[in-house]
Amino acid sequence: MKYPSIHFSGDSAFIVRFGDTISRKIHQHVLTFETLIKKENKNIITIPSYTDVLVSFDPTSSSYKNIYKSITQTLTQVEQHTSTSGRIIHLPVLYGKKFGLDIDHVARHNNLTEDEVIKLHSNTTYFVYMLGFSPGFPYLGGLSEQLFTPRKDTPRAKIEAGSVGIANQQTGVYSVDSPGGWQIIGKTPVPLFNITDNPPVLIQPGDYIQFMPITEHEYATIEKDLKNKKFKIQINSYHE
Amino acid sequence: MNNQIRVKSPGLLSTIQDLGRNRLMHLGIPESGAVDKKSLRLANILIGNPQHEACLEVTFIGPELEFTYDTTISITGAGAQLKLNSQEIKLNTAINIKKGDLLSVGLMNSGLRSYIAVSGGFGIPNILDSKSTYLKGKFGGLDGRTLKKGDILHGNTPNKASKAIEIPKELLTPYKSHVTLRILPGPEIHNFSQDGIFTFLNEKYTVSEQSDRMGYRLNGKKVELNKSSDILSSGLTFGTIQIPNNGEPIIMLADRQTTGGYSRMANVIQADHCKLAQLRPGDSINFKEISIKEATKLFEKQESLLTNLTSKLK
């Protein structure tokens, strides 16, 4: 397929796609396009993701023809510049044990031991490409190829908030209890979504994430400290 | 505030909803809002509220509510046995309420969701710019939860009495247990085989019990893919039809996740969202492809009827 491409998502939205792989270059096109198209059209709603932007419009105030035209015009202005610094958030994770429901499956699928899965997953610094699926759920780039595992064919009815999962070349953290099809390898006690915080989400697109393996004892301590408002998450600045 | 609405029985699944919170979807915060937006808008129009005002969305079995003040209400959407004290009352019209009246909405007998609007709206705070309840996130509406027995809702000061109007027939969507939903092809239609697309457009699909405000899971003949259904997660709209590797379609509704990772076969057109919203588990669907031009025409017709109705009140 040739990119960029434009697709209908129903009669009041378009998907504008810039590629079909996870890459910082494609993602930069996504973010630049999103910024420009929002400047052109005040009433549209956008959801940027890895490779595309969902552009929803209000069909009572603009027609699909006008939005389509605006999209094609904006596409001619998309340039690229990649930023390589941001915040790094250190997120404690209890891998395997009672929370990592699928860590054995991920290990077997890739001919690894569970310890190797943990090492490979926590030795990488991940880039936050997008938030989606549920409030504050980060989609991360940088997962080691040795951990790629397909989603479950039939999604689970409930996955607990904090669960860390893998779906093909993606890894992420469930931010609220929800159904889902990712392979679960561990859990963080730190909430990613809190309605009384401003902003209500811990992680933002453009941040970096470092997972830190913790023991069951440390998990319990962090949970207790969170309850007493004594836990402070480690956030530093980061340059690639 | 003394304008109280006391919950004598909560019904099966009753939540406060408006037209949703759509400005934070880029942070992963779902739209929520009424599943049947047209019925919510009609309920508000009937009693002179702004169309986006929050209503009670009640599902399958309605609540019993006692009013401590004089006001006007309206009920739209699914048909149910409706009573004010022991008197039967009608759907789709303004109803005068006197202090002490008991409203009861029984079992839905046609459709799944009714909307109860009160004149002036419910006294509910905006959370992230909307009064809508998001149950999975546990916020919005009434502390992010469903109505329960003993709850007290507050009514804002009622509007000045408005003209009694009737909803024109063309604006109502009579409930049917088998529907044809019109669709536009989705962004990943090419991930499905020719046979798969033929199956999707010609077989009958049944709404499964595993359905909620997030989406309807459908049962029926499996839709064949010509590659894995998995895609890089991408934005979803109300009415998006995703088909995972098990070949069974899922139609996304109001509480849908903002992005999804399964191939998108199609999207239900906006003019058919109200039909979609009233489907009950066990009901069946056929899909029919139409053009963007036809879809736009159908939507514009519906909107102009709504505008005409609103202007009759002025």
d(C-alpha B261, C-alpha B235), whole Å: 9
Cβ(A44)–Cβ(A34) below 8 Å: no
Residue B313 has pLDDT above 80, yes or no: no
- Is residue A80 over pLDDT 70? no
**AA letter at B265:** M
Residue A96 and residue A21 share a domain: no
pLDDT range class, residue B165, cuts 50, 70, 90: confident
Distance CA B148, CA B144 (A): 12
Q: Is residue A118 part of a domain?
A: yes
pLDDT reading at A81 higher than 70: no
Identity of residue B124:
I
CATH code, A116:
2.40.100.10
Domain boundary among A45, A75, A105: A75
* Contact status of B211 with chain A (Cβ, < 8 Å): no
For position A174, what pLDDT does the model report? 94
Nearest residue of A to residue B302 by CA position? A60
What's the confidence (pLDDT) of residue A22? 87
Cα angle B44, B302, B254 (rounded to 5 degrees) comes to 60
Question: Which A positions 53-92 lie with beta carbon below 8 A of chain B?
Answer: 53-54, 56, 59-60, 63-64
Query: Predicted confidence band at A24 (pLDDT cuts at 50, 70, 90)?
Result: confident
Q: Mind telling me how many Å the CA of A219 is from chain B's nearest CA? A: 23
- What pLDDT, on the 0 to 100 scale, is given for residue B48? 94
Contact A132 B258 (CB under 8 A): yes
Whether A80 is in a domain gets the answer no
CATH architecture group of domain B178-306 = Beta Barrel (2.40)
Do A33 and A149 share a domain, yes or no?
Answer: no
Residues 100-159 of B with CB under 8 A from A: 127-128, 136-139
Averaged pLDDT of chain A: 93
CB contacts of B306 in chain A (<8 Å) are: none
Distance CA(A33)–CA(B196), nearest Å, equals 34
Helix residue ranges per DSSP H, B187-229:
194-202
Chain mean pLDDT for chain B: 96
Task: Pick the last residue of a domain from A50, A75, A100.
Answer: A75
CATH of the domain at A52: 3.30.1360.40
Taking an 8 Å cut-off on Cβ atoms, the answer to whether B214 and A179 are in contact is: yes
The pLDDT of residue A1 is above 80: no
Would you tell me which residues 203-232 of chain A have a C-beta closer than 8 angstroms to some C-beta of chain B? 205
DSSP state of A205: T
Tokens of B16: 């406060």
Across the interface, whether the CB atoms of B246 and A153 are under 8 A apart is answered yes
Looking at A12-76, which runs of residues are DSSP E strands?
A: 13-17, 45-48, 52-56
Give which of B123, B99, B109, B101 is closest to B62, Cα–Cα: B109
- Residues 68-97 (B) with a CB less than 8 A from some CB of A: none
Least CB-CB distance to B139: which of A20, A21, A195? A195
Amino acid B120 reads G
- Burial class for A122, CB neighbours closer than 10 Å (0-12, 13-18, 19+): middle
Q: Is residue A138 part of a domain?
A: yes
Of A13, A52, A59, the CB nearest to B299: A59
CA dist., res. B314 & res. B310, Å (int): 7
Do A128 and A20 have their domain in common? no
Q: By CB neighbour count within 10 A (0-12 exposed, 13-18 middle, 19+ buried), where does A171 fall?
A: buried
Q: Are residues A112 and A203 in the same domain?
A: yes
For A150, the closest chain B residue by CA position comes to B230
Contacts of B228 in chain A (CB under 8 A): 150
Say whether pLDDT at A83 is over 80: no
Q: What are residue A239's phi and psi, to 5 degrees?
A: -125, 135
**Integer Cα distance of A14 and B189 in angstroms:** 15
* Residue/partner pairs of B121-125 with CB below 8 Å, 24 or more apart: B121/B49, B121/B53, B121/B54, B121/B155, B121/B156, B122/B5, B122/B16, B122/B54, B122/B55, B122/B56, B122/B153, B122/B154, B122/B155, B122/B156, B123/B1, B123/B3, B123/B153, B123/B154, B123/B155, B123/B156, B124/B16, B124/B54, B124/B153
* Residues B277, B280, B286, B291, Cα dihedral to 10°: 0
Helices and strands in chain B, H and E counts: 4, 18
| Domain contains A171 | yes
How many separate domains does chain A show?
2
Q: Spell out which residues of chain B touch residue A15, defining contact as CB-CB under 8 Å.
A: 187, 234-235
Statement to judge: residues A97 and A196 lie in one domain: yes
Contact A7 B245 (CB under 8 A): no
Q: Where are the domains of chain B?
A: 4-167, 178-306
Domain end (from A75, A107, A124): A75
Size of chain B, expressed as the number of residues it contains: 314
CA distance B101 to B64: 10
Q: B1 pLDDT exceeds 80?
A: no
pLDDT at B314: 66
pLDDT at B218 over 90: yes
Number of Cβ atoms within 10 Å of the Cβ of B291: 11
Mean pLDDT lowest among A77-81, B45-49, B110-114, B179-183:
A77-81
Answer yes or no: is A49 within a domain.
yes
State the average pLDDT over residues B174-186. Answer: 97
| A168-206 pLDDT, tens digit each | 888 999 998 888 899 999 999 999 998 888 889 999 887
Q: Which domain holds residue A36?
A: 5-75
Instruction: Give pLDDT tens digits for A30-42.
Output: 988 998 999 999 9
Pick B163 or B156 by higher pLDDT. B156
Tell me what the mean pLDDT of segment A138-149 comes to.
94
Q: What is the pLDDT of residue B137?
A: 87
Q: Cβ–Cβ of A10/B239 closer than 8 Å?
A: yes
- Does a structural domain hold residue A16? yes
**Residue B251: what residue type?**
I
In single-letter form, the type of residue at position B160 comes to K
Contact B55, B167 (CB under 8 A): no
**3-state DSSP call for residue A121?**
helix
Identify whether residues A65 and A101 lie together within a single domain: no
